[in-house]
């Protein structure tokens, strides 16, 4: 897992429209990199929609929102269109970025163990360093928590 004030690993990933994004593209801006398990599932949809609903305010604060999951670009496109998400959601199908940030982890559900994305967000400062790590995210209140931290 990443540590506070550590340099955030750069990456190049495609968004729901096939456009490439890298962390380096956003140098000089605050970035919220939020990792979520799966497109169009209840918790992930709630989280994405709270960021959507607060998007204008986040933009005024100078914060860039980037979602990341292991779903493919086609899945992201369907998810983004269905919920009118105004920010990039990035496809990490090979899970290299998830591994670099330490969010590809062993999980348990109903007694079954499997590997998956631990819902985690990273607030990255203008210099590209980790300013805050959000673990065990509450999908309903996460966007508000981020707004408080960015102000």
Tens of pLDDT, residues 76-96? 999 999 999 999 999 999 999
The CA-CA-CA angle for residues 90, 140, 68, to 5°, reads: 10
Total count of residues recorded for the chain: 151
Tokens of 72: 């493919």
Does 49 participate in catalysis according to the annotation?
A: no
Q: Cβ distance 136 to 103 under 8 Å?
A: no
pLDDT at 129 > cutoff 80: yes
Amino acid 151: pLDDT: 80
The CA-CA-CA angle for residues 133, 127, 124, to 5°, reads: 20
111 or 62, greater pLDDT: 62
pLDDT level of residue 48 (50, 70, 90 thresholds): very high
pTM over 0.85: yes
Q: What is the pLDDT of residues 20-34, one digit of tens each?
A: 999 999 999 999 999
Query: In CATH, what is the architecture of 29-150?
Result: 3-Layer(aba) Sandwich (3.40)
Residues 6+ apart with CB under 8 A from 111: none
Phi-psi region of 40 (alpha: psi -120 to 50; beta: other; left: phi over 0): left
Cα separation, 110 vs 35, in Å, equals 22
Cα separation, 3 vs 109, in Å, equals 27
Q: Cβ distance 121 to 44 under 8 Å?
A: no
The catalytic residue among 44, 48, 66, 89 is 44
């Amino acid at each position: 897992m990443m540590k506070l004030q550590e340099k955030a690993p750069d990456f190049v990933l495609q968004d729901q429209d096939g456009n490439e994004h890298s962390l380096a593209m956003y140098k000089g801006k605050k970035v919220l990199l939020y990792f979520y398990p799966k497109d169009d599932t209840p918790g992930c949809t709630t989280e994405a929609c709270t960021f959507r609903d607060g998007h204008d305010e986040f933009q005024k604060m100078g914060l860039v929102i980037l979602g990341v999951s292991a779903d493919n670009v086609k899945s992201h496109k369907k998810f983004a269109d269905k919920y009118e998400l105004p920010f990039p959601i990035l496809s990490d199908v090979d899970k290299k970025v998830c591994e670099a940030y330490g969010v590809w982890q062993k999980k348990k559900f109903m007694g079954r163990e499997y590997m998956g994305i631990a819902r985690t967000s990273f607030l990255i400062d203008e210099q590209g360093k980790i300013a805050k790590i959000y673990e065990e995210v509450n999908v309903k209140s996460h966007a508000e928590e981020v707004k408080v931290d960015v102000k």
